[in-house]
């Protein structure tokens, strides 16, 4: 890939979940039809760990079974217990040299099961833990409550990773609850549609009000796009269908999130997290959506 930085590979659990109409899940693993050519594919804890070992990623995720909102207690419990069984099997596979392995806690939207999953997984010798199965349609207050339940149980000395979550507000709230890592397609996905992250909320560059706006995408941002181009120019790129607009918007949105996390990291180092969090909640969590 020509990338000399850290690489995290996922096990495919969420991807299998997203193909729910094409997949059959048993304790042995998941069998599904490819949406590309219709070929039958079979994932097991052993096979997905072998693939990640061959890729040589720095962090490999255990195979899991997330469920969507809402779900019955019976379905949730069965998926959670299967995830625990698969996690133990993943640990039996040999990792690549220097490769870390993270387990994934589940439990759906049931508080008792979320606690149970965190307790069970905490006893397994993973190098870190992903919190999976959140932000799948449930209200945000439920997301944050369940997240707090599990981070209170998961070992503090091992990394906690909130999977698939990444709005500025989510980052602020999740870090306040003990999360260390994130991944999310949001900054680049919304950039492709001309949606820009700013400290005043998202803006849509396709709106007419930006036709003559000579200002940067966000005042005070030090990214390549803000240093060199105006909102009006990027709007022109989007309206003309120029791919450069997508790239510049992606650079900006990613830089905004990197700076936000850096600001929080600095506050933690200075022992000022509570003070900074109050300000960030005003700037991001209550920011209007487009």
Q: Is there a contact between 206 and 196 (Cβ–Cβ < 8 Å)?
A: no
Concerning whether 222 is annotated as a catalytic residue, the answer is: no
Q: Measured between alpha carbons, how far is 236 from 88 in angstroms, rounded to an integer?
A: 53
Q: Which of 127, 180, 183, 213 is catalytic?
A: 183
212 is catalytic: no
Catalytic pick among 10, 64, 170, 218? 10
d(CA 179, CA 266): 15
Active site residues: 10, 183
């Amino acid at each position: 890939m020509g990338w000399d930085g850290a690489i995290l590979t996922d096990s495919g659990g969420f991807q299998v979940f997203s193909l729910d109409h094409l997949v059959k899940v048993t304790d042995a693993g998941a069998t599904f039809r490819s949406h590309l050519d219709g070929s039958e594919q079979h994932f097991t804890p052993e096979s997905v760990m072998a693939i990640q070992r061959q890729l040589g990623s720095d962090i490999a995720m255990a195979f899991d079974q997330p469920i969507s909102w809402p779900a019955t207690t019976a379905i949730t419990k069965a998926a959670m217990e299967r995830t625990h069984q698969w996690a133990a099997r993943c640990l039996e596979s040999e990792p690549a040299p220097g490769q870390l392995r993270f387990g994934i806690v589940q439990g759906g939207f049931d508080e008792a099961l979320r606690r149970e999953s965190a307790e069970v997984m905490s006893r397994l010798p993973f190098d870190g833990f992903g919190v999976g199965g959140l932000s799948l349609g449930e209200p945000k207050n439920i997301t944050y409550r369940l997240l707090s339940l599990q981070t209170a149980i998961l070992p503090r000395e091992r990394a906690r990773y909130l999977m698939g979550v990444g709005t500025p507000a989510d980052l602020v709230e999740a870090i306040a609850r003990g999360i260390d890592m994130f991944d999310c397609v949001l900054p680049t996905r919304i950039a492709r549609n001309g949606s820009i992250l700013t400290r005043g909320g998202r803006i849509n560059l396709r709106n007419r009000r930006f036709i003559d706006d000579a200002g940067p995408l966000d005042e005070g941002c030090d990214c390549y796009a803000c240093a060199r181009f105006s909102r009006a120019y990027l709007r022109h790129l989007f309206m003309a269908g120029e791919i450069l607009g997508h790239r510049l918007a992606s650079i900006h949105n990613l830089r905004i999130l990197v700076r936000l996390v850096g600001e929080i990291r600095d506050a933690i180092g200075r022992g000022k997290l509570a003070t900074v969090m109050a300000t960030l909640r005003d700037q991001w969590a209550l920011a209007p959506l487009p």
